[in-house]
A and B are shown apart, each in its own frame.
Chain A
Amino acid sequence: DAKTTQPTSMDCAEGRAANLPCNHSTISGNEYVYWYRQIHSQGPQYIIHGLKNNETNEMASLIITEDRKSSTLILPHATLRDTAVYYCIVRVRRDDKIIFGKGTRLHILP
């Protein structure tokens, strides 16, 4: 079973920051937090991952709480193309199989 819980859906206005929360209260010390997204009828796309520290790349920022029991994915300036299902996943190794939860369906509103 997936080890994370996410809201079923969220709305965000275009141009604003989208903040997607994820709870992973049972995360182990050696597990990373990964975020993927799936645009309709496409394969999932990697966004970002982290262990303890906050991370930022060209797509997003990942904020992990100090106790590591939750995290937030931030899309700084959401566009209509960011409409997708976002999956938060915890796992140990990059080549581990990925067990997907239900994810958050993000709607970007024009």
Chain B
Amino acid sequence: GAVVSQHPSWVICKSGTSVKIECRSLDFQATTMFWYRQFPKQSLMLMATSNEGSKATYEQGVEKDKFLINHASLTLSTLTVTSAHPEDSSFYICSAPPGLLSNEQFFGPGTRLTVL
């Protein structure tokens, strides 16, 4: 079946630095990808919709200048957490609908970000 990967699977960084997370569709093309954030013991919260070749659409309350999204190709979307702070520590998950390949959306395995 279709597979979505994320890199890195976990990252620890210092406060004030920027961190880039990659989301790749491995055997299908995805014009749209979605980014979620999940705090411990909470549900997934949709952050933004990543659109290939155009600007991302952010959900209400998500700072677009802090969470930069780039969807440069049909198989890659990146989320950059800029000037990270401890409160940005979270589990970040991406998903992609594989179009005609399936009726479902495929989710990446997630990236655990810890900001010290």
Contacts and interface: CB of A to CB of B under 8 A. Distances in A.
A17 B107 CA distance: 26
Nearest to B45: A100
Contacts of A38: 44
Contacts of B99: 95
A28 interface: no
A36 to B, nearest CB: 8
Interface residues of B, number: 25
Most interface-central of B91, B104, B108 (chain A CB within 10 A):
B104
B51 to A, nearest CB: 12
A21 interface: no
A41 B46 contact: no
Contact of A98 (B6, B95, B102): B95
Given A95-B32, A98-B46, A41 B105 contact: no
Interface of B: 4, 6, 32, 34, 36, 43-46, 49, 91, 93, 95, 97, 99, 102-110, 112
Interface of A: 34, 38, 41-46, 49, 85, 87, 94-95, 97-103
